[in-house]
Structure 1
Amino acid sequence: MLSTLEVFTTVVVGVMVGVEFAVAFVMNPILNALPEDSRQSGHAHGGRMLGAVMPVWYIGSLVLVGVWAVAGRHHDGTALVVAAGALLLLSVVMSVLLLVPINNRNKTWTPENRPADWQEQVRRWERLHYVRVAVIIAAFTLLVSALV
Structure 2
Amino acid sequence: MLNALEVFTTVAVGVMVGVEFSVAFVINPILNGLPGDNGLRGRVHGARMLGAVMPFWYIGSLVLAAVWSVAGWDEGGAGLVVAGAGLLIVSVVMSILLLVPINNRVKTWTADGLPEDWKQQMGRWDRFHYVRVAVLIAAFTLLVAALV
TM-score bucket (shorter structure): over 0.9
Q: Which residue of 2 aligns with 1:54?
A: 54
Once residues 60 and 128 of structure 1 are traced to their aligned partners in structure 2, the CA distance between those partners, rounded to angstroms, is 21
Runs of 4+ that moved beyond 2 A: none
Aligned pairs, how many?
Answer: 148
Question: Which runs of no fewer than 5 residues in structure 1 stay unpaired?
Answer: none
1:23 to partner: Cα distance = 0.2
* Amino acid in structure 2 at the alignment position of 1:67: V
Q: Which residue of 1 aligns with 2:3?
A: 3
Once residues 7 and 51 of structure 1 are traced to their aligned partners in structure 2, the CA distance between those partners, rounded to angstroms, is 26
Percent identity reads 70
Once residues 33 and 123 of structure 1 are traced to their aligned partners in structure 2, the CA distance between those partners, rounded to angstroms, is 13
Q: CA offsets per residue over residues 71-109 of structure 1, 9 Å max, x none?
A: 000001000000000000000000000000000001110
* Amino acid in structure 1 at the alignment position of 2:98: L
1:20 to partner: Cα distance = 0.2
1:11 to partner: Cα distance = 0.2
Cα RMSD (Å) of the superposition?
Answer: 0.5
TM-score normalised per structure 2:
0.99
TM-score normalised per structure 1:
0.99
* Amino acid in structure 2 at the alignment position of 1:22: S
Local SS of the residue matching 1:114 = coil
